[in-house]
């Protein structure tokens, strides 16, 4: 459902971050992007959600190109189909958990406030946060905030969700609860592209693992191929450090 072709991105006059990346993600597939920081994983996700504009190549959503010049309306509509979960949650601090989740549906989907609120409650129950509906983000732990953020993304009924290091900003004991929710989504058939350093999680959930290095995918395949029999030396070195 998502096809990335020869994606290129350079910030300002610096060295290119992405140097012609190809990626194909089928509906219902879970793809994990791994690699050292600065390898271009996050930039790639941000390009898919049009938070960054690609400098070269193109991105297709269900066969239709979404890169190139688009009207603001088109971009907003594309973003409604592709959810995004950030490393630092980015919940709206002036809204309760339920309000965070209901905002999009109320404003963009013509859902009534009552319906949106009901769905927000259901989604919070789904991510294990029943009872926290009226809490403000500051009253929640990092793991809880990230689960609210996932629920907020789900409320728009996206066809695909992009996760940008969703557990990197969490204390170790909270990583599990967030990964648990993501596993649940994977089991439900949600299409997901996940930037992560959690190799155990990637092994258990991913259909495909892509290893990025200096703006190119240097290794890709099923988890056991990439993790157990990495072909490139860079991947071997990286994995030996991460898996210690």
The correct pick among 43, 67, 145, 153 for binding another protein (CB under 8 A) is 153
Nearest to 95 by CA among 114, 115, 117, 76: 117
Residue 216 CB, nearest approach to another protein (Å): 26
Site size toward another protein, by CB under 8 A: 27
Q: Which is nearer to another protein, 154 or 226 (CB)?
A: 154
If one asks whether residue 93 binds another protein (CB under 8 A), the answer comes out as yes
Q: In what order do the strands lie in the sheet containing 56-61?
A: 18-25, 2-9, 56-61, 64-65
Contact map string, positions 54 to 83, toward another protein, x by CB under 8 A? ------------------xx--xx-xx--x
Least distance between another protein and beta carbon 102 (Å): 11
- Within 108-127, which residues bind another protein (CB under 8 A)? 108
Distance between CA atoms of residues 117 and 130, nearest Å: 13
CB of 224 to another protein, least distance (A): 33
Q: Given CA atoms 85, 51, 217, 237 in this order, what sign does their dihedral have?
A: negative
Which stretch of DSSP H or E encloses residue 175? helix 172-187
Q: Cβ of residue 136: shortest distance to another protein, in angstroms?
A: 7
- For another protein, which is the closer residue by CB, 90 or 111? 90
In angstroms, give the least distance from the CB of 113 to another protein: 14
CB nearer another protein, residue 69 or residue 94: 94
| Closest CA relative to residue 25, chosen from 50, 3, 8 | 3
DSSP string across 59-112:
EEETTEE--SS--HHHHHHHHHHEEEE-TT----TTS-HHHHHHHHHHHHS---
| DSSP characters over 203-228 | HHH-SEEEEEETTEEEEEE-HIIIII
Task: Report how far apart, in Å, the C-alpha atoms of 83 and of each of 9, 142, 158, 227 are.
Answer: 21, 20, 6, 28
Q: Give the integer Cα–Cα distance in Å for 188 and 237.
A: 34
Confirm if 233 and 54 have CB atoms less than 8 A apart.
no
Binding letters toward another protein, positions 11-50, x by CB under 8 A = --------------------------------------x-
Judged by beta carbon, residue 106 or residue 175, the one nearer another protein is 106
Interface residue with another protein among 6, 107, 157, 231 (CB under 8 A) is 107
| Site residues for another protein per CB under 8 A | 49, 51, 72-73, 76-77, 79-80, 83-84, 86, 88, 90-94, 103-104, 107-108, 136, 138, 149, 152-153, 156
């Amino acid at each position: 459902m998502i096809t990335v072709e020869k994606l290129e991105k350079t910030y300002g006059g610096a060295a290119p971050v992405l140097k012609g990346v190809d990626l194909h993600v089928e509906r219902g597939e879970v793809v994990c992007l791994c690699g050292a920081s600065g390898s271009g994983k996050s930039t790639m996700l941000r390009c898919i959600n049009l938070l960054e504009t690609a400098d070269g190549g193109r991105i297709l959503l269900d066969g239709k190109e979404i890169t190139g010049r688009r009207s603001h309306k088109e971009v907003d509509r594309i973003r409604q189909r592709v959810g995004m979960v950030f490393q630092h949650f980015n919940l709206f601090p002036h809204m309760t958990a339920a309000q965070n989740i209901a905002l999009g549906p109320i404003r963009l989907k013509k859902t009534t406030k009552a319906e949106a609120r009901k769905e927000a409650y259901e989604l919070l129950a789904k991510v294990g946060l029943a009872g926290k509906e009226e809490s403000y983000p500051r009253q929640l732990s990092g793991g809880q905030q990230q689960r609210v953020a996932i629920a907020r993304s789900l409320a728009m009924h996206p066809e695909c969700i992009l996760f940008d290091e969703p557990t990197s900003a969490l204390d170790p004991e909270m990583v599990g609860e967030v990964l648990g929710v993501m596993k649940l989504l994977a089991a439900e058939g949600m299409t997901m592209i996940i930037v992560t350093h959690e190799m155990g999680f990637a092994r258990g959930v991913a259909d495909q693992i892509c290893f990025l290095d200096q703006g190119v995918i240097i290794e890709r395949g099923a988890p056991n191929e990439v993790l157990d029999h990495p072909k490139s030396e860079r991947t071997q070195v990286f994995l030996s450090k991460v898996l210690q």
